[in-house]
Amino acid sequence: MSANLYQSHLATRQAQEATAAKLIAALSLLAAKDVTVSFFGERVALSVAKVLALHDQHGVDVAASLALAESLVAQGNTTARIDLGQAIKAGKSAADFAQGTAAATDVVLYGFGRIGRILARLLMSRPASSAGLQLKAIVVRPAGEGDLAKRASLLERDSVHGWFDGSVSIDEANNGIIANGRFIQVIYAADPSEIDYTAYGIDNALVIDNTGKWKDEAGLGKHLASKGVAKVLLTAPAKGDIKNVVYGVNHSTIGDDKIVSAASCTTNAITPTLKVLHDAFGVVNGHMETVHAFTNDQNLVDNHHKADRRGRAAPLNMVMTSTGAASAVSKAIPELKGKLSGNAIRVPTPNVSLAILNLNFEKEVGTADELNAFMKAVAQSEQWQEQINYSDSPEAVSTDFVGSEKVAIFDAKATIASGNRATMYIWYDNEMGYSTQVIRVAEEMAGVRY
């Protein structure tokens, strides 16, 4: 009996793998036409085992995905984002998907630290295309001999996120990095005023400033004074009247703005959840605490630091510090202005952080199970599936979420709720999840319409 059972499972699996392989072939053809395919908000990895795992997780027949994908290939769709899982769930056909608009936009990464390199990885992981965001250059401070090779090496290998998915080499003659066959100019400059981007064939560019050196209109305006620059996106909270944008919440307010901020990683992590909770139950007030991975602005060993406590050794201490994330939420959700306080604790882990929301509501949220059911439905909705994920595993720990492109992972097992009060725990990869949101804001600024 057991032998027959084994053979039955084996035959079923072999048939599923054959179907998944055909699906991957169809997805590759779509990718070549700038059609990005996801499955209930998850990017579909071109691996038979991973494709089948996604389908098993959501209870969808892989044959249904293959049929829709092949119809899309036959229809000739270009410049689109299609969620196969949601499409199948809604009973959609290829005819329901229209063409998009994604004219090429030159992108410059000003600064090549943690966020800059993750952004480069995300952009260069996409199939080569003449449409959409085109990474043309990175700008770094003047450095000594061997710097180009070091920059390429840091892109290729990463202690947290592992090896670059593809190939990386350098072109010393032209001072550039070649990633997945595409040339990226490396420009050395101490200030934006030194750069003429048009000399490198770059024009009407979107500059993504990862340095955090300038946070107001006067400072970031230096980029706009550089020849060849059209718009600027800051990967940090902005000062003054610059909009702090959390994609999915207030990205529609960007309009024709030439300078925009993508806020902070923590603001991006908590704002989508706060938005859905406020819309459903009405947030009266509350407190946000982030247990945050240590960052490069802290010291490895005890030493002088301009900020209180951050001078103490980051790998050895939990360090109390401040965060502007709670107050920054009000720039995306004005109704919450003055309703949230916030603090932060830096801890000795290199990546993935945890935001704790302790909130009072106008309406009753019910029990923890009822609140969890609400958040699960939110996470599975087409509107929020790219931003919010849902975890109900009793074994979940921070390293489980390294590399997650969801900006927030709601931990259902930790929820505490009663009446009008609730405490919720939200994990987030403060590097990858945030960078994914930055790319979405960049596409909005560039006028990319999938």
Distances (CA, A) of 228 to 21, 169, 203, 375: 44, 27, 4, 44
| Residue 44 · residue 59 · CB < 8 Å | no
* Residue with token string 């560039």: 446
The verdict on whether 265 is a catalytic residue reads: yes
203 contact partners, CB below 8 Å, separation of at least 6: 106, 197, 228
Catalytically annotated residue among 246, 249, 265, 333: 265
SS3 label, residue 285: strand
SS3 label, residue 207: strand
**Residues 332-366: b if buried by 16+ CB within 10 A, e if exposed:** bbeebeebbebebbbbebbbbbbbbbbbbbeeebb
Sheet strands (E) in 48-175: 80-83, 105-110, 133-140, 157-158, 162-163, 168-171
> Which uninterrupted H or E stretch holds 300?
none
Q: Is the dihedral of CA 4, 7, 11, 12 positive or negative?
A: positive
Distance in angstroms (rounded) separating the CA atoms of residues 306 and 297: 10
Q: Rounded to the nearest 10 degrees, what angle do helices 114-124 and 432-446 cross at?
A: 60
Q: Would you please indicate which residues are annotated as catalytic (active-site) residues? A: 265
